[in-house]
Structure 1
């Protein structure tokens, strides 16, 4: 089941969706077990219960569901229903990644980038981001742009960075949309920069929107004037 199909499966009245999912999950359907874990994690149609979410993710993972493996990693990384254990999170992300799941590759790559739960290894991180990017994972494409912009492992190349940010933006990643807008503005294309900043606000978290706004207000270049800042308000 794709991310879009999962979203559609959860689109009905929450309590009714929860009832149907629980019936299927209890009958042993791994995808339903995964989705049941998600509704318990989100408190969507049921009382929020991270420990119960983790239990359902575990059942789905036991049946071989890669996304469930990834979600167990998320629980271990963030302490949802269990203690924080980033080394264990890395193991679960690797299990998901080894089964071809782009999210598993992305999450494992992030740990390698930061050196959390694993030894810092930006070369391995870039390799994993590139594997996920080949599967059109927008967040990974954005991260590759960051590697080229900052000169991590790869030689610094702003043209390549800009190309990746554009692809990530078009793929719907709000961080990619901000980075794409940032590069457009610096190149003098303020109209398109404003468009992508506005697009970013449709899906960006409140914390990221505030971070983006703060970054813009701290810039000394005249291109970051009130007109562009208002696009993220």
Structure 2
């Protein structure tokens, strides 16, 4: 199972910035911090804060620890010239997904109690066959962020899907910059939910420029991991020409793939498509079949349409 080392702090929860920034290697900072934080040396910690000042999470951790040791915090390093916006992770940067060996039995993930609690509070429906996930409207963002952040504060060896779930909670809680950073970490480790999160941020355009083509590419990457939500969003792009040329045949293909996994929004939308006689010929039997499959999953909309 892919594991992901993450270090967080209470300061992160109130809006700290990027994990990796500028040209400083913040991946190196994480490794160095593991030794520095236990050294008990105020000089070493102050030096660390200055050297890795461009890594906000780690420099803040160092300043917080320094206050505990000396009562005084190291001043942030002076920035003389504004830096160019850092290059964001692209779909082309992702490592190729290894082909599964059909002879290998599936491995159930070995989640810790803390990871499981975070997933139960923030994971998306369809994210994994090992837990149900929570619908967007039903997620308590403040509670989910607190549970997941508490885990990240204590554990530096956290599964990528757990980090992706934290990113989802951060979006619901309005912490968009943090959601972008944590979803980037998890996307690099192959999380489809994290890729879907990045896509939604590029669609919204609040903290990164609106780029529908980039968003569609991330949705497609999410779909290729097997995430039903990603398949649904790819289908929506093909249906509406958002980030890609319209293609109703491909839209139906991806809606049906997501529906195969029981993804409620796709089941409901397919029922509507086959009723409306807009993209395809009306087929009331298919409409009823799809709505019947959506209704047991808790879709009040599907149940009302059936009625």
User: Does the pair score TM above 0.5?
Assistant: yes
Query: Aligned-pair distance for 1:33?
Result: 1.8
* CA pair 116-14 structure 1, distance change in 2 beyond 3 A: closer
Q: Does 1:36 align with 2:162?
A: no
Q: Alignment partner of 2:295: what SS?
A: helix
Q: Judging by fraction of residues, say which structure has more helix.
A: 1
What does 1:1-233 align with in structure 2 at a 5 Å threshold?
Answer: 3=125, 4=131, 6-7=133-134, 13=143, 16-23=146-153, 27=157, 29-43=159-173, 48-180=174-306, 184=307
Q: TM-score, normalised by structure 1?
A: 0.66
Query: Aligned-pair distance for 1:51?
Result: 1.3
Aligned-partner Cα distance in 1 for 2:243–2:283: 30
Higher-Rg member (1/2)? 2
* Contact 1:141 1:167 survives alignment (8 Å): yes
- Deviation track 1:53-111 (CA, whole Å, cap 9, x = no partner) reads 11110110000011111111111112243222111111011001111110000011111
* Structure 2 spans left out of the alignment, 5+ residues: 1-118, 126-130
Query: Aligned-pair distance for 1:40?
Result: 2.2
Q: TM-score, normalised by structure 2?
A: 0.51
Q: Number of paired residues?
A: 176
Q: Alignment partner of 1:143: what SS?
A: helix
Query: Aligned-pair distance for 1:117?
Result: 0.9
Query: Aligned-pair distance for 1:152?
Result: 4.3
* Contact 2:145 2:169 survives alignment (8 Å): no
* Contact 2:213 2:244 survives alignment (8 Å): yes
Which one has more relative contact order, counting CA pairs under 8 Å at least 6 apart?
2
Aligned-partner Cα distance in 2 for 1:115–1:136: 25
Aligned-partner Cα distance in 1 for 2:290–2:145: 41
* Structure 1 spans left out of the alignment, 5+ residues: 185-233
* CA pair 7-171 structure 1, distance change in 2 beyond 3 A: closer
* Contact 1:21 1:36 survives alignment (8 Å): no
Aligned-partner Cα distance in 1 for 2:164–2:241: 28
- Deviation track 1:183-225 (CA, whole Å, cap 9, x = no partner) reads x2xxxxxxxxxxxxxxxxxxxxxxxxxxxxxxxxxxxxxxxxx
* CA pair 159-24 structure 1, distance change in 2 beyond 3 A: farther
* Contact 1:114 1:120 survives alignment (8 Å): yes
Query: Aligned-pair distance for 1:5?
Result: 5.3
